Structure 1
Amino acid sequence: MKSAPIKYHRATSVEEAVQLLSEYEPGEARVLAGGQNLVAMLNMRLWRLTALIDVNAIPGLSVIEPRGNDIVFGALTRHAMVEHSELVAKRLPLLSTMIRHVADRQVRNRGTLGGSLVHGDPSAEMPLGCLVLNARLHVHGPNGSREIAMEDFYDGPYAAAIEPDEMLTRIEIPPAPRHHAFMEVVRRHGDFCVLSVAVVGDQKDDGTWQNVRIGLGGLSETPVLAHALMEIAEGTTLSDEVIARTAAAVGNVIDPASDFRASAEYRAHLAPVYVERALKALRTCAPVVH
């Protein structure tokens, strides 16, 4: 099956892309970046659009660079760039680990970080990683630019909190905690995950853990930053007893659904198991020296 007939525009600046988006009724035009999700949805006719605005010719949107203590990613940064970036490996090792679980090499060569975030698949790795790492997203529209915290970026599944005439331009990630761990359950490598768990934290000299952040993917309509679990773990030595209590509380922060990959009951059963495993892996992770 192929997409229905559609108009194609190739923008050469952010302002031109926003202007083109504004010329169509809300929801009739979409930005085309890597197209790994969008084109598939159009070909299956799950989405019907009037126009595509290709932004691949816009300069300056495909970069990874330090800006003060933060790392800045252009929205057109390919997954493969993230995967092979020494800067990301050194400063954001969680993201460097997670990117290798994204689909397959062909998709990573073409797919973009910004496209994955805007698409908002609840089981995707990059939205979860950016959530755990406290990313800030910058979008540009007819009224200028604005910043959105990653935790506020989704109104629901596949529903980024940006206006139809806005486009994501860059992602900023602050300094990350020095320890990390990531685990996911997949039916086969590169498939959409059944569930995933990403954790970060800093272990102090006295053995206690600070800045603990726990993210859950594939277990609710959007990626979840599990504040209730973080409160249990924060300030402790992550003893086996604390980890067990943290894992036992996961049922209070998830709302899993059933699909062809797994039932809601199976996801709910696995969630505490993998939270426990991820926290134990965090506890043994060698610290990253920034």
Structure 2
Amino acid sequence: MIPAAFDYTRPSTVDDAVRALAGAGEDAKVLAGGQSLIPVLRMRLAAPTVLVDIGAVAELRGVRDDGDALVVGATTRHADLLRDPLVAAHAPLLAQATAQVGDRQVRHLGTIGGSLSHADPAGDLPGVTVALEATFEVAGPGGRRTVPAAEFFVDFLTTALAPDEVLVSVRVPKRPGWTTHYEKFVRVAQAWAIVGVAAAVRRENGTIAEARLALTNMGTTPLRAAGVEEALTGAPATVDAVASAAGRAGEGADPPTDVFASAGYRRHLATVLTKRAVLAAGGIV
């Protein structure tokens, strides 16, 4: 299908982008890489009157070291994240998940901010930011504010962003001494996750000192696997201990039933994939 007619503007600064959104009201949409928005426009599931293309805003691109954290610009493309040495050194979980986003074409056009703002519960990156306890910088007419990842994802395809706000960057804390893994189950290669698990583990003296886990597609938003984290903290770094903790992966989850999997099957997958993710992240054999 052909999208409905719309006006187009391409601001060069964050402030200009905010003004364009504020002037257009709720009928505007932000365009970054377009990998989430363009299909929606073509199917006429959305019909904005104005597209605000933020691709020319230099402030929104790239990765920089900010002491105890990395700051990732919202329009940084997936392919650039995969090549970035700072991400590899200080936020490998982000790269591990990004490598499984779509195909090469999607990764060369799609952006981290676009993926996060789209907030699809089957998307790979929202859960990763929750597991890493990232924070998001958001700009609006009233200035800039910081939103924790756990509060950014509000509901299905819904975030804490107001219609006149722009996601500026993602701040990812460095976690020296932690090891990570992203485990994902799909029907076919390059598909959305049936279930995914983002895991970060810190081992100490033969035990799991700390763990951070988040689940993909086990509800309308990314889900922090608090029960598993609790069970793993202080547990021996053994296969049996991890398997026992993984049994709590479904606590508090409300997985959907759809044409791809039932809620019960997703609960089973969450247990299996959580075990795999923690074993891989912790190097436990």
TM-score (structure 2 length as normaliser): 0.96
Post-superposition shift, 1:272? 0.9
Q: Which whole-Å deviations, capped at 9, do the CAs of 1:80-109 have from their partners, x for residues lacking one?
A: 000111221111111111111000010100
Q: Which runs of 5+ in 1 are unaligned?
A: none
1:184 maps onto 2:184 in alignment? yes
> For residue 144 of structure 1, what is the amino acid of its counterpart?
G
Residues 180, 285 of structure 1: 8 Å contact kept: no
Post-superposition shift, 1:212? 0.6
Whole-angstrom CA distance in 1 between matches of 2:172 and 2:280: 23
Q: What is the percent sequence identity of the aligned residues?
A: 35
Structural mapping, 1:107-122, within 5 Å = 107-122=106-121
Whole-angstrom CA distance in 2 between matches of 1:279 and 1:69: 24
1:94 maps onto 2:93 in alignment? yes
Q: Which whole-Å deviations, capped at 9, do the CAs of 1:170-222 have from their partners, x for residues lacking one?
A: 11111125211221101111110100111111111x21222310111011111
Structural mapping, 1:94-243, within 5 Å = 94-176=93-175, 178-204=178-204, 206-243=205-242
RMSD of the alignment, in Å? 1.5
1:248 aligns with: 247
SS in 1 for 2:255: coil
Residues 14, 59 of structure 2: 8 Å contact kept: no
Please identify, of 137-146 and 183-192, the stretch whose mean Cα deviation from structure 2 is larger: 183-192
Post-superposition shift, 1:285? 6.4
> For residue 189 of structure 2, what is the amino acid of its counterpart?
H
1:4 maps onto 2:4 in alignment? yes
Whole-angstrom CA distance in 1 between matches of 2:99 and 2:82: 7
Whole-angstrom CA distance in 2 between matches of 1:46 and 1:3: 9
> For residue 12 of structure 1, what is the amino acid of its counterpart?
S
- Seen in structure 2, the aligned counterparts of structure 1 residues 182 and 285 have a Cα distance that, compared at 3 Å, is farther
1:23 maps onto 2:31 in alignment? no
Residues 31, 53 of structure 2: 8 Å contact kept: yes
1:71 maps onto 2:57 in alignment? no
SS in 2 for 1:103: coil
- Seen in structure 2, the aligned counterparts of structure 1 residues 255 and 238 have a Cα distance that, compared at 3 Å, is farther
Post-superposition shift, 1:283? 2.8
SS in 1 for 2:133: coil
Whole-angstrom CA distance in 2 between matches of 1:285 and 1:40: 41
Report how many aligned residue pairs link the two structures.
Answer: 284
Post-superposition shift, 1:2? 1.5
Residues 181, 285 of structure 1: 8 Å contact kept: no
Post-superposition shift, 1:238? 3.3
> For residue 22 of structure 1, what is the amino acid of its counterpart?
A
Whole-angstrom CA distance in 2 between matches of 1:144 and 1:249: 41
Residues 210, 232 of structure 2: 8 Å contact kept: no
